[in-house]
Amino acid sequence: MASGSTFLRFWLTERPRDTFLSYIPKEELPAFRLACHDFGVRAAPLLFEDTTITFRPSTFTKPARMAALGRIGHHIQTLTFSMPHTPETFLPPLLDPVTGEEVTFIYEPYTQSTRNSATRLSNPIYGSWELTDLLVKQYSPLFHAAANVPTFIRAFQALPTLNHLKISCPDQEAGQRYRRSIVDYALISLRIAIERCKLPLLSSLSLVSIHPGAALYLNPTMGFGARPNSVKKWKQIKNLAVCMDSIPFSPYPPSDHLKILHSYLHVFASSLRNFVFRWHGSNGLSPLSLDKEICLQDRSPGMACPRRCHLALRPLKFDKLRNMEVENIVVDASQVSSFITAHRHTIREFNFENTHLRSGTWDQALAPLTRISGSEKWKEKAEEVMDVPLLFSPVDNEENKAQDLVVDYFNCKSRALRPSIGAWQRAGARSRDLFWGTPEHMKRFLRTSIFSWR
């Protein structure tokens, strides 16, 4: 047991103290902070560095919650905003109580602060007193909390060190794709709050699980409540990861959501350096070459915006893109080739996971690499061949270590993260025996296996 002075010297030395705190499981940090005041102060940055907020009616309106956010907000660096689609987020049509007819609701975000009671009572929040009265009576408190933009602004003003924002809105039903829900109003308020708060460190955005329509409400150029300078805040984003519910692939898929996605990605064209996109569900079209899709070049006007539906999409080009990864897409070899050629001066790494070619071959798709490098030596490194070992269950209690080793190897998507051959050669005899199995282990396996070796 260390003496008080020894422990005090250890605790007041920053590097060993921070190393010690990093090994404490996050679920045990709340109890650790209760030991003494200084423990609570030192452990707070680690405990609140990555915070998740599941949006509810009182999330940003309850004074106690906002006071707590003000105390810990300067520690939050990664914030996950979660709001799943549920029956509570569904919005029925707004009906006139007398005639029963549907009332048209044109939403305009109310961004003025309502701290002054006189101002709050003199200005209707939703355009007119009649419409405000209908919305209060027919829509749930969750809707009014999602449309309360000033509370979102006050919440994000308490996060001055935020550098990574994650947005998760899963579980939207396919039948609700063209209907606006409470989740969409929350996304509008979230976008406006980010644009109007000082967040100098914000550089990463992850749309973890979102529906296709979310790109419309997060788009600062065409979204509700957008300003001429709204795009400036989003130019800070250098890392973008998107996992979007897929639109069923067909020769002529619905083009509305694809055009909205294409417009949304244009917002980051001048600043993005790392880009990851994945369709969740069935295969979808490549978001990087939507301007070359025939279904989006159809000149027959559709129902929405018939005067603009025939306009061709601008090609998508990222000026500073260095790393790109797409997954679960269907693309032509010519589209891949055009993308590599257009970004040949900046891109350093690109990955095509679970990508299917509709036409052409991968040699044709990656042909620009030969022209750029001047030879075909890159093909020697493009393909990896390896022997997959057969892993027997270990005899001793170290079974989990071997399983974790194999799982970690095959879960590494980045080639740079995979164990090298030298790492296997440097492994000790005990580790190799554990992985490959000892002679005694082989005898036990063959005696007890279903093959009944004798």
Hey, what amino acid is at 437? G
Q: 125 or 404: whose pLDDT is higher?
A: 125
**pLDDT exceeds cutoff 80 at 443:** no
Contacts of 92 (CB under 8 A, 6+ apart): 138
**pLDDT exceeds cutoff 80 at 266:** yes
The whole-number pLDDT of residue 290 equals 85
- The pTM of the full predicted model, rounded to 2 decimals, is 0.77
The whole-number pLDDT of residue 36 equals 86
Q: Mean pLDDT score of the chain, rounded to an integer? A: 79
Q: Are 127 and 167 in contact (CB under 8 A)?
A: no
> How far from each other are the two terminal CA atoms of the chain, in whole angstroms?
57
**pLDDT exceeds cutoff 50 at 385:** no
Percent of residues, the chain, with pLDDT higher than 70: 74
Predicted confidence (pLDDT) per residue in 20-42, tens digit:
888 888 888 888 888 888 888 88
Q: 311 or 109: whose pLDDT is higher?
A: 109
- Concatenated DSSP letters of 1-15: ---HHHHHHHHTSHH
CA 24/CA 408 separation, integer angstroms: 22
Q: Are 272 and 238 in contact (CB under 8 A)?
A: yes
Question: Mean pLDDT, to the nearest integer, of 336-343?
Answer: 91
Burial of 28 (0-12, 13-18, 19+ CB in 10 A): exposed
Question: Mean pLDDT, to the nearest integer, of 319-326?
Answer: 93
CA 327/CA 298 separation, integer angstroms: 26
Q: 438 or 240: whose pLDDT is higher?
A: 240
DSSP state, 325? E
Percent of residues, the chain, with pLDDT higher than 90: 39
Grade residue 2 by pLDDT with cuts at 50, 70 and 90. Answer: low
For 128, the token pair is 């007119």
Q: 298 or 364: whose pLDDT is higher?
A: 364
Contacts of 223 (CB under 8 A, 6+ apart): 188, 191, 216, 217, 230
Grade residue 116 by pLDDT with cuts at 50, 70 and 90. Answer: low
CA 343/CA 333 separation, integer angstroms: 16
CB crowding 167-205: b at 16 or more within 10 Å, else e: bbbbebeeebeeeebbbbbbbbbbbbbbbbbebeebbbb
